[in-house]
Amino acid sequence: MYQWDFSFIWSYRWLFVNGTVVTLLFTFGIVVLGLAVGLFSGLLRLSRFAPLRWLSQAYVEVFRCTPVLVQLVWFYYALPILSGIEMSATTAGVLALSLYGGAFYSEIIRGGINSIEPGQTEAALALGMTPSQSMRRIVLPQALKRMVPPLMNQSIIQLKNTSLVSVLAVPDLLYQGQAVAHDSYRPLEIYTLVAVIYFVILFPLTLLVGRLERRLARAD
Amino acid sequence: MTAKIEVAALSKSFGDHQVLRSVNMSVGSGEVVALIGPSGSGKSTLLRCLNLLVTPDGGRVRVGGQSLDFGTSSKLPGTASLAKFRAGTGMVFQQFNLFPHKTVLGNVMEGPLTVRRMPRAEAETLARALLGKVGLAEKADQYPARLSGGQKQRVAIARALAMQPEIMLFDEATSALDPELVGEVLNVMRELAAEGMTMVIVTHEIAFAREVADRVVFLRDGVIVEDGPAKQVIDAPQQEATQAFLSHFHRQRDN
Ligand SMILES: Nc1ncnc2c1ncn2[C@@H]1O[C@H](COP(=O)(O)OP(=O)(O)OP(=O)(O)O)[C@@H](O)[C@H]1O
Ligand SMILES: [Mg+2]
């Protein structure tokens, strides 16, 4: 039987705290940027101009149909060669994960907007609103409410995806865990703790999403 | 009587299905016109061309002082001029299409606030007056989901009136209602007609059309087959197609 021993971990506490902070900041960054990209792309997807729709669709498909780890590595090792611009691991990670998340957010936002009955837009236009007024005042407020649970779900996935940046040596929670594991020779305790920290952050969030989903289902 | 609405050589196709074939129609100021015809004959399409929710392929639409031309030579009006055109025409839909995220008062204030940029206090006074007029003053703070179908439709009428439109368009305003709720909506429409509002009403309520409309226009396959005084068209239709439609209609109602 393996003798569990968590007592030594206390001396590494600041590494775990730092790693968790980096993971949370990273998540915050890629969720905000990803939402901005996703809203832009989702609206393009609904544009009257076909080339804009195609552009948006091409973006979404490229990022949905390649593994996110491949994207990370590509942005860090390949893009600098192509563009001639060096970038830090953090920059590459933020860029890749924001664009990856943005592709999924884009689909959620497009779906949310499409789920609003066309009669709402017609009523708004019939009052004399312009299409953008109708979008802002009538369609988006209703669509946003429906989008919140799936957007939160995607953001939870985004938090988990941040663990991938450890391969680029961004000092996130998993990276710090690896460092401690090497240092202490106790990978079982370390990686268990890392998993527990992710779980403790994510579980309440999934409960919250579930509650929101149920509340919305009741309201409909 | 000067014409308030004028439609000339209006045509519209969806794909290769021609839904309106060079329709000409005019509606005098204060006149009430009922548009009747079989399902798929193009009634809704014609009505929606009057506020350009459907963009005609060709022809001209004039409402009051605003006129727009459509066709190969003229370029399509931009979103701003479309919006301006629509602001002067009120429309009431079969499915009400109230804004569910806004209260009854919010629904009625929405047009004046967003489109007319009316100060909030003024918009609220206007909206409350209109809600009183349709008999729903006490429902101002409720959400549409809490209302009956008849109440929803009356709010929708108040919402359209809040734009102080030159004309009102009704597309089967009572077709989605339980029979016992039809009367309250027809009463509001009757009142509007009596006040001199110019109205075009797509309806299956033949008795109502006969009573309230000045004129009845019978549409079939995208063509106006008959157009005349309401009582004449309904009691003694001249065209065979109109006779067939009305007799079919009466048979249905008798069953
Ligand atoms: N957006 C559209 N795209 C394609 N076809 C359409 C569209 N709108 C209407 N049509 C077709 O045009 C024809 C006329 O439709 P319209 O809705 O004007 O008929 P209607 O007289 O109002 O019929 P109803 O009494 O059933 O409401 C129908 O065959 C319909 O299928
Ligand atoms: Mg119709």
DSSP-assigned states of every residue in B79-136: HHHHHHHHHTEEEE-TT----TTS-HHHHHHHIIIIIS---HHHHHHHHHHHHHHTT-
Q: B204, B170 in Cβ contact below 8 A?
A: no
**pTM summary value:** 0.86
pLDDT at A40 (0 to 100): 95
Q: Which of B166, B164, B198, B171 is nearest to B185 (CA)?
A: B171
Distance B19 CA to ligand 1 centre (A): 7
Question: Which tokens in the block code for residue A182?
Answer: 């090497």
Question: Which tokens in the block code for residue A154?
Answer: 């995607």
Q: Which of B1, B34, B8, B15 is nearest to B229 (CA)?
A: B34
Alpha helices in A136-186 (DSSP H): 140-161, 173-184
Q: How far apart are CA A29 and CA B68, in angstroms?
A: 49
Question: Quick check: B252 pLDDT over 90?
Answer: no
Ligand nearest to the CA of B53: 1
Tell me which architecture the domain covering B29-40+86-254 has in CATH: 3-Layer(aba) Sandwich (3.40)
Contacts of A23 (CB under 8 A, 6+ apart): A159, A162, A163, A172, A173, A174
Question: Which tokens in the block code for residue A177?
Answer: 């865990």
Domain ranges of chain A: 24-173
pLDDT at A3 (0 to 100): 85
pLDDT at A48 (0 to 100): 87
Instruction: Report the residue from B87, B93, B98 with minimal CB separation from A128.
Output: B87
What is the pLDDT averaged over residues B146-165? 97
Q: A137, A124 in Cβ contact below 8 A?
A: yes
pLDDT at B254 (0 to 100): 52
Query: Could B97 and A137 be called an inter-chain contact, meaning their C-beta atoms sit closer than 8 Å?
Result: no
Classify residue A76 by its DSSP letter: I
Domain ranges of chain B: 29-40+86-254
- Fold designation for A24-173: MetI-like fold (1.10.3720)
Q: How far apart are CA A151 and CA A91, in angstroms?
A: 23
Mind listing the pLDDT tens digit of every residue in chain A (220 residues)? 888 888 888 888 999 999 999 999 999 999 999 999 999 999 999 988 999 999 999 999 999 999 999 999 999 999 999 988 888 999 999 999 999 999 999 999 999 999 999 999 999 999 999 999 999 999 999 998 889 999 999 999 999 999 999 999 899 999 999 999 998 888 999 999 999 999 999 999 999 999 988 888 776 5
Q: Which long-range contacts (CB under 8 A, 24 or more apart) does A8-17 make?
A: A8/A184, A8/A186, A8/A189, A9/A180, A9/A189, A9/A190, A9/A193, A12/A180, A12/A183, A12/A184, A15/A176, A15/A179, A15/A180, A16/A173, A16/A176, A16/A177, A16/A180, A16/A193, A16/A197
List, in sequence order, every residue forming a beta bridge with B216; answer none if it has no partner.
Answer: B34, B228
Query: Could B79 and A130 be called an inter-chain contact, meaning their C-beta atoms sit closer than 8 Å?
Result: yes
Q: Which of B20, B94, B84 is nearest to B52 (CA)?
A: B84
List, in sequence order, every residue forming a beta bridge with B25; answer none if it has no partner.
Answer: B7
Ligand nearest to the CA of B36: 1
pLDDT at B95 (0 to 100): 96
Question: Quick check: B255 pLDDT over 50?
Answer: no
Q: What percent of chain B has pLDDT over 70?
A: 97
Question: Quick check: B1 pLDDT over 60?
Answer: no
pLDDT at A102 (0 to 100): 97
Alpha helices in chain B (DSSP H): 43-50, 79-87, 104-110, 120-133, 149-161, 179-194, 206-212, 230-235, 240-254
Tens digits of per-residue pLDDT, B48-100?
A: 999 999 999 999 999 999 999 998 777 788 899 999 999 999 999 999 999 99
Q: Is A115 on the interface with B (CB under 8 A)?
A: no
Q: What is the mean pLDDT of chain B?
A: 93
ipTM of the complex: 0.94
Contacts of B207 (CB under 8 A, 6+ apart): none
pLDDT at A159 (0 to 100): 96
pLDDT at A59 (0 to 100): 97
Question: Quick check: B248 pLDDT over 80?
Answer: no
Query: Could A127 and B163 be called an inter-chain contact, meaning their C-beta atoms sit closer than 8 Å?
Result: yes
Q: How far apart are CA A177 and CA B183, in angstroms?
A: 73
Test mutation, B99, B108, B157, chain A, max A CBs within 10 A: B99
